Each structure stands twice: as structure tokens, then as C-alpha cells.
Amino acid sequence: MNSDQREQQLLRGLAENDTKAIQTIYAGNFSLIQALVLNNNGSYDDARDVFQEAMVILYEKARKSDFQLTCQLRTYLYAISKRLWLKKLKHHGLFVSNTELSLLEPVIPVEEDLEMAEKKDEEFEVMESAFAKLGEPCKSLLEAFYIQKKSMSDLVEIFGYTNTDNAKNQKYKCLMRLKKLFFAQYSK
Amino acid sequence: MSEQLLIESLERYFNDEMLPEEKAYFEQMRQDNPELDQMVVTHKIFMGKMAEFAERQKLMTQLSSTHDHLLEKGAIAEDQKKISKGKIRQLWHRYKKTTAIAACIAGLTALIISGVISTFGPASRQTIELLSRDIEQLKKTQDYQYTQIKEATKLPEGAVVKSGGSAFMIDGKGYLLTNAHVLKGSSAVVANADGQEFKTSIVYVDHAKDLAVLKITDSDYEPVKTLPYDLKSTSVNLGAEVFTLGYPRNDITYNKGYLSAVSGFDGDTSTVQISLLANPGNSGGPVFNRYGDIIGILSTREANAQGVTFAIKSKEIVQSLESWNDKDTSAVNAAVLNGSRNLKGMNRENQLKSLQQYVYNVKAYN
């Protein structure tokens, strides 16, 4: 298998949330990004955040049907991470000497991906805050059903409902509230 | 239809769980009722967002557990020292044992090979050594000398002797010739055969030829008019008997030998090979022919063979002094050392008695 096919396989694995693929990509690229961030005024936590954010962007990209990576996975992650970190530095008003950051591989156009990721992030933030405002036990109930994909009978057991109808009822009420909260912010 | 039922239907519709007739009926209802259709659309958007959100959450959890997992395994590191060497460290950890074994084998092999080479191989560049005394030995002799003639030493207080050797007079005004490698420190004192010391200054150094000239600057020194030898710059013959005077120890030491090759180490034509036992400290000492004329200056010896010594030819000395003379008016004129030959016909003891006054012990210090 040549390296190109291997990378394609890894990306497919990532899109399918395959643990092994994620670990391989992670182990193979994290140190590079960590060095980049650490050498440019960042901390270990910053490095982790930046890298994981880059991974998320790669994941979104890999999930698209028309997806095509025009460069090496490593190069892509590097380009994305570099942009992300520069943005964060600017945000914190920190000074960066351009020497390190400009000494890099040919610039890959990642602006579009980043913009898209940002838009997505905003949506997720809205969803997150809607969930946060929802309050318990609705939050846990909906998370269990929609995020952890538990079945109705599981919910009955976990949350102690007398029967599934009761659980359904409760879930419906919670969902309606969440929807309201979400659209109240989303449409703005 | 209550809203709750409607939502449930919607979810079943999106999840493709409806029976074909039910689905057709539902789609018909959507067409007929724009309000319902609007509701379906928004709910669909919402469910989509939720699904994406769920996926994102899942990925984030997966990523952070991956991070912890890899950290534990040592595949990535969050340690200042390990940073940016992650991969190498990882490899190091993995192959530590193998590497250690390989290093042992390599080390052993290297030792064996170098042993074999030094036993059977031809002499290499490194097998000649300079004949200046090393520091350890000098420390001993220096201590000895301090106890013997403490008042006489002209070494400054706290001076550290770096190296030492021999030198011989080339001009009665107090000019001494020695090897450049003898003068390791910044200054030097010299002592004559009686142990009397004199301060000197380094007036000329020719690193290429490994020659240097010291001038005695001490007021205690009494210049001499003529020297009992000349600097014979004509060639010498193979087998010619030669002898030397020098200071491998603190007392002047005599040694004799013969010219065993007209070229030096590795065919070096600026030097000659002499079969003579020389020791560290003999560097810079004169090499005399049997008439007591100088034919060279001792400089190196072969480390692996006893009695193989090399001397810089007097011709080279003359050339060096002449080129110094061209540049510097205060230089020693090599012509001064010409045509005396007054030790010819004397027996060796008497020759030495006369010669030893002009051979000096050099102590270079910082």
C-alpha cells in the first residue's frame, strides 16, 4: 500500500470515528504541532487545543462526500494548526516573531475550511448554550437519547421512569424547550 | 394529531421507519398543509444540527481520550525535555536495549580493530610525538628544583609551567633557538647547565617549521663573543655519527646516535631520521655532528619505535632565520654561526664541556 492510499484509509477511518485511525493520525502528528505551538509562545494546553481543533476540521472535511485532500495529511494539519494558532495569538494580542511561522512549507489554501469550521463552531456554541440553559434533568435526558444514542428502554432505567410512554412524554417536552432555546439564538 | 404525536411521526419519517402507506399519507399531508411542511423543515434542520452536535461531542471525547491514551503509552509527550523529539524519544525507548548491545559490540569491534591496526599496520601520522616534556613530569621536576635552588628561580610567583624543552644559543647576545611547540605558555625562563635561570622574551616564532627564537632579557646574562660551533647547512651523510645535548630532566643530558635516514617521518624532506634515544624534554635540543657542528634541531620521535627520532635540518633553520631577517631588522643573522669549527679534533668529553654552556633548559609558563 503506498502512502497515499494509506492516508486515504486513515481519513476514511477518521470520518467513521474509527479509534485506531484517530490514534494513528494523532500519534503521527501531534508532536509536530506541539512543537509549533510551544516554540511560538504557547503552552501544552494550547498545543492540545489547537491540535484537536485541527483534527475536528479535518474530520469535517473527511466526512464530505466530495472530499479530496490535495496535500499530505501532515501538511494539511500543520497549515490548519498554524492558522489557528496565529489567530489565537492575535486574539490574545501577543507578539509573534514571524521567523518561525513563516519558515514553513508552501502555504496550502485552508482559509475556506477554516471559515466553514468557524461557522460550524458558532452553531455548536448556540447548541451548547441551549443545552446549558435547558437545565436538568432535560439536559441529561436529551444527551442520553440524541448524543449517546441510548434507547428509550435504557432511558426508562437510567432516569427511573415508570414506563416508556412516560419517558417519551418527558423527552418530547424537553426537546420542544431545547428547540425553542436554540432557535431563539440561532435566528439572530 | 397532537404535536407530540406529530414530532414522533416526524422522527420516524426522518429515520425512515414509516411503512410505505403511512409515508405516502404523511407526504400527502405535508403537501396539503404548508404549516405542517414548515414544521417538518425546521424540525429537520434542528435534528440535523443536533446530530452534528452529537457527533462533534463524540469526536471531542474521543480525541481527548486518545490524547490521554497516547500520553500514557509514551507515543506523545508533554515534557519540556522531550519536546519536539517525541518520535526520537519514543524510538529510543523502544530500542534502548538493542542500541546498548549494538554500542557494546561496536565499541569492542573498534577496540579490536585499532589493536590490530596498531600491531600490524604501518605507522601513521599520530605515531610521532613531540619531545617537549609534559606538564606532569615538569611539575615534579619543578617541585624538586624549588626545594633545591629556591632562591635562584626566576619564575614569577604563581606561574604555571606549561611545557618545557631544550634550546641552544645561536647568537652570543643571548638568542636561543628552540622548537615552537616547546613554548606553550606566554613566556619562558631558561636555565643553563649550572641551573642559573634567566628571563627571556619570545622574539620569533615560525609555526610552519616548528621553530622559535628566545632572547635572554635578563641583566644577569653576560653575552659571549663567539660560539664554538657553526650551523652546518650542507647535507649530511647516511650513517654519520651524531650526538645531542638536552634537558629531558633537570640536568643536562648527553645522547649519541647516527643518522639513519636522510628524510624524516613519512619521507619529510625538511627533517632527518636519527637513531638516538630521545625523551620528552629533548625537543629543541641541538644535534651535533662529530666535530661539534650543528646539523639540526631535535623535534619529534616515533611513538611506536624505540630510538627513532627526527630532527629538523639545519638548512631549514637557516632558511627560517633568513626569512625572519628579511622582515625584521632586529633578527639574528644566521651568518654569525659560520665557520668556527674550533671543536674539531677534541675528544667527546672536552667537546661536551665546551658545548654544554650553550644549551639551555626551557620552561614555558603562563
Residue bearing the bigger pLDDT, A166 or B256: B256
Residue bearing the bigger pLDDT, A52 or A133: A52
Q: Give me the residue from B49, B66, B87 closest to A127, CB to CB.
A: B49
Q: Does the CB of B77 have a partner CB in chain A at under 8 Å?
A: yes
The pLDDT, as a whole number, for residue B360 is 92
Q: Please indicate whether, in this complex, the C-beta atoms of B76 and A31 are within 8 angstroms of each other.
A: yes
The pLDDT, as a whole number, for residue B306 is 76
Integer Cα distance of A114 and A77 in angstroms? 12
The pLDDT, as a whole number, for residue A103 is 46
- What's the rounded mean pLDDT across residues B217-222? 87
- Over 70: is that where the pLDDT of A105 sits? no
pLDDT tens track for B301-351: 877 777 788 899 888 888 888 888 888 877 777 666 665 667 777 888 888
CA distance B54 to chain A (A): 4
* pLDDT, chain B, mean: 79
pTM for the structure as a whole: 0.43
CA distance A24 to chain B (A): 10
The pLDDT, as a whole number, for residue B11 is 75
Q: What percentage of residues in chain B have a pLDDT greater than 90?
A: 8
Q: What percentage of residues in chain B have a pLDDT greater than 70?
A: 84
**What backbone phi and psi angles, to 5 degrees, belong to B359?**
-110, 130
pLDDT tens track for A13-71: 888 888 888 888 888 888 888 888 887 777 888 888 888 888 888 888 888 767 677 77
Q: Please indicate whether, in this complex, the C-beta atoms of B59 and A17 are within 8 angstroms of each other.
A: yes
Nearest CA in chain A to B6: A172
- Over 50: is that where the pLDDT of B151 sits? no
The pLDDT, as a whole number, for residue B335 is 65
pLDDT tens track for B225-250: 888 888 877 777 888 899 999 988 88
CA distance B100 to chain A (A): 26
Q: Does the CB of B38 have a partner CB in chain A at under 8 Å?
A: no
Nearest CA in chain B to A18: B62
Contacts of residue B63 in chain A, CB cutoff 8 Å? 22, 26, 52, 55-56
pLDDT tens track for A70-101: 777 888 888 888 888 887 877 766 555 554 44
Q: Please indicate whether, in this complex, the C-beta atoms of A172 and B57 are within 8 angstroms of each other.
A: no
The pLDDT, as a whole number, for residue B115 is 82
- What's the rounded mean pLDDT across residues B92-111? 80
- Over 60: is that where the pLDDT of B261 sits? yes
The pLDDT, as a whole number, for residue B51 is 81
CA distances from B241 to A150, A173, B227, B258, B293 (A): 108, 120, 21, 4, 12
The pLDDT, as a whole number, for residue B82 is 46
Rounded to two decimals, the ipTM of the complex is 0.79
